[in-house]
Amino acid sequence: MDFLRYVFPVSGVETWLWLPPLAAFAISFFTSMVGVSGAFLLLPFQMSVLHYTTPSVSATNLVFNLVAIPSGVYRYMSDGRMNWPLLWAITVGTLPGVVIGYYVRVWWLPDPAAFKIFAGCVLLYLAWRLLPGFLPGWRNLQTADASVPPRDAVVRTLSVTPARVTFRFGAETHAFNLPAMLVLAFLVGIVGGVYGIGGGAIIAPFCIAFFRLPVHAIAGATLAATFLTSIAGVAFYNFLPAPPGLATHPDWLLGVLFGVGGALGMYAGARLQRYVPHTALKALLGALVALLAVHYLLASVTSNG
């Protein structure tokens, strides 16, 4: 079995060839259900398990997004669950943030221990807002949130104005403030650019916790926005200047291996999402956010120790 063990020349990672796609499949299957790409948890996996810690790990994570996300997006589009106004709002807002995030990553935070403390605290707060046991008025909302939307429920845009976007999902009408969404997308784009998880990768928890949008109606849009901003992110890490001697180019082979497993996982997750109650999806996202927050906080303590 030694022939399945490989040293990736760009990153220097040595591992079994089956491990990256297997890990990506397992992670992406669950994260795609809540509109988050597998990169959300693959970055800690690469840094902690594969010991890939240079800034180019962020670029490799973005390559994973390019390969893995289209299958999940296709599934959401086929099911009529693509929220187009939300997709373009997130994309327009996050692209400038991703540019800033790149420069922050390679010039100021090549070893981002301090930033991990901040990110960990933000993510813990989001987890507190998302986990069902902590939601205000949870007992009153439990019955409604526990339902599964009709299997034929689709997203229909009702109106788009400079101030507000209104859409219908199933029998319910939802809306969000467009300027607020753009500002939020810009801020999370910076974070996504720093960590290589795509501009839209961490906006799903905010859409659910603060804008009160249903996860079934936003997951496709947040995944698609992550894909579009990841294209820009890979280009930035490939072509924009970096400090001398700092590796920023992605490991394409490793990223593609992750992406193959992620593509299968995302398609399966997007396909099965419609059968899972909103409450369960919200709890899953909260647990994933809490897990990542704890990882970042522990990593910052370890690196400072």
HEC sequence for 209-248: HCCCCCHHHHHHHHHHHHHHHHHHHHHHHHHCCCCCCCCC
Structural domain includes residue 165: no
Q: Which of 78-92, 138-152, 230-244, 286-300 has the lowest mean pLDDT?
A: 138-152
What string of DSSP letters covers 44-85?
Answer: HHHHHTS---STHHHHHHHHHHHHHHHHHHHHHHHTT---HH
Binned at pLDDT 50, 70 and 90, residue 141 comes out as very low
Q: What is the pLDDT of residues 232-243, one digit of tens each?
A: 888 888 887 777
- Pairing label, strands 164-169, 172-177: antiparallel
pLDDT in the model for residue 17: 94
The domain total for the chain is 1
pLDDT in the model for residue 264: 95
pLDDT in the model for residue 133: 55
Structural domain includes residue 54: yes
The pLDDT mean for the chain works out to 83
Half-sphere exposure of 223 (CA within 13 A, CB side): 37
Question: Which residue segment(s) compose the domain that 79 sits in?
Answer: 19-135+182-304
300: pLDDT strictly greater than 90: no
Binned at pLDDT 50, 70 and 90, residue 198 comes out as low
In degrees, rounded to 5, the angle at the alpha carbon of residue 151 between the alpha carbons of residues 145 and 155 is: 80
Q: What is the pLDDT of residues 87-135, one digit of tens each?
A: 999 999 999 988 888 788 777 776 666 667 777 887 787 788 777 554 4
Structural domain includes residue 153: no
Structural domain includes residue 177: no
Structural domain includes residue 238: yes
Kindly state the helix (H) or strand (E) to which residue 207 belongs, with its residue range: helix 203-209
Coarse DSSP helix, strand, coil percentages of the chain, rounded to the nearest 5 percent = 70, 10, 25
Structural domain includes residue 173: no
pLDDT in the model for residue 303: 64
Q: What is the pLDDT of residues 36-80, one digit of tens each?
A: 777 877 887 888 789 887 878 888 988 999 999 999 999 999 989
Q: Which of 68-72, 147-151, 190-194, 262-266 has the lowest mean pLDDT?
A: 147-151
> What's this model's pTM, rounded to 2 decimal places?
0.81
How far apart CA 301 and CA 304 sit, in angstroms, is 5
How far apart CA 101 and CA 189 sit, in angstroms, is 7
Structural domain includes residue 223: yes
Structural domain includes residue 121: yes
79: nearest Cα among 265, 221, 187: 221
